């Protein structure tokens, strides 16, 4: 591979397959009191269905929200994936491997919308806009570092060094890709920690890059399960 390093600031999130609908929650919840029910039966009373989902969310009856599945394709920097993999319950991951394939030279460089300066003490801080000079420095320093590290990686590969050894020179700003599969309950827990939202009862301070991924996942989930998403927001964005 002889590609020159490429730089980007966006994140890729694609919903590649799913089995997820609000009726999955209703079906799972009502079996405890009514036994098996058809989908037609579940959809007869929309207000009752909305109320039941809200009740389950409010009183934190979580298991009915697990009977669904969403698989996302995600392309993001390695440092985002290291945070992502802290979420283990209800998640499955398969990531591209630097042992078995030559890694492409795609690297993260923040754009002008990324706040660069952290102010305040740990546990009570905020990020503010950087100066044009700081942004220029970040861009120059990152691109120079990426170019040097990828050149070293290529040099080792061309000398016959194994991919799993040569990859050690590559930085966490390198883009990787993975499939991530979850259910609505595990996704809600992820969103509660990895988004900052005005309706959240519990404050969260996510790194902006993983929040960008979370926001795109949430948009797809909201389309699939609008009643569940609305109940999540109405009850403080706390996973049941």
Say how far apart CA 97 and CA 38 lie, in whole Å.
44
Measure the N-to-C terminal CA separation of the chain; round to a whole number of Å: 47
Alpha carbon separation from 62 to 19, 75, 117, 205 (Å, rounded): 18, 29, 38, 24
Say how far apart CA 196 and CA 169 lie, in whole Å.
34
Contact, 17 vs 71, CB < 8 A? yes
pLDDT of res. 196: 95
234: CB partners within 8 A, 6+ apart: 54, 57, 199
Q: Read off the tokens for 53.
A: 């989902």
Mean pLDDT by 10 residues, the chain (240 residues): 85 98 92 58 74 96 97 98 95 97 97 93 85 97 98 98 98 98 98 97 94 98 97 98
pLDDT of res. 31: 80
Other CB atoms within a 10 A radius of the CB of residue 134 amount to 12
Task: Compute φ and ψ for 77, nearest 5 degrees.
Answer: -65, 155
Task: Compute φ and ψ for 44, nearest 5 degrees.
Answer: -70, -35
Burial of 38 (0-12, 13-18, 19+ CB in 10 A): exposed
194 tagged catalytic:
yes
Say how far apart CA 26 and CA 233 lie, in whole Å.
18
pLDDT of res. 48: 86
Contact, 133 vs 141, CB < 8 A? no
* Helix locations, the chain, DSSP H: 22-34, 39-42, 46-58, 78-84, 132-158, 163-166, 184-194, 208-224, 226-234
pLDDT of res. 180: 98
pLDDT of res. 46: 78
Which residue in 167, 194, 216, 237 is the catalytic one? 194
pLDDT of res. 38: 52
pTM of the complete model: 0.92
């Amino acid at each position: 591979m002889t590609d020159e390093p490429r730089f980007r600031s966006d994140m890729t999130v694609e919903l590649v397959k799913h089995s997820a609908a609000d009726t999955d929650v209703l079906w799972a919840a009502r079996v405890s009191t009514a036994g098996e029910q058809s989908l037609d039966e579940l959809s007869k009373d929309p207000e009752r269905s909305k109320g039941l989902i809200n009740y389950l969310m409010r009183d934190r009856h979580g298991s009915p929200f697990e009977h669904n599945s969403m698989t996302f394709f995600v392309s993001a920097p390695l440092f985002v994936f290291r945070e992502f993999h802290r979420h283990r319950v209800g998640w499955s991951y398969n990531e591209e491997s630097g042992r078995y394939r030559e890694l492409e030279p795609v690297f993260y460089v923040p754009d002008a919308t990324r706040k660069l300066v952290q102010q305040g003490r740990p546990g009570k801080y905020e990020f503010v806009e950087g100066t044009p000079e700081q942004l220029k420095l970040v861009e120059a320093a990152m691109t120079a570092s990426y170019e040097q590290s990828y050149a070293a990686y290529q040099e080792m590969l061309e000398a016959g060094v194994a991919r799993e050894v040569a990859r050690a020179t590559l930085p966490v700003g390198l883009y990787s890709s993975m499939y991530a599969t979850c259910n609505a309950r595990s996704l809600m827990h992820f969103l509660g920690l990895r988004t900052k939202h005005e309706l959240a009862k519990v404050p969260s301070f996510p790194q902006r890059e993983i929040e960008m991924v979370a926001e795109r996942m949430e948009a797809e989930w909201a389309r699939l399960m609008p009643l569940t998403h609305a109940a999540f927001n109405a009850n403080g964005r706390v996973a049941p």
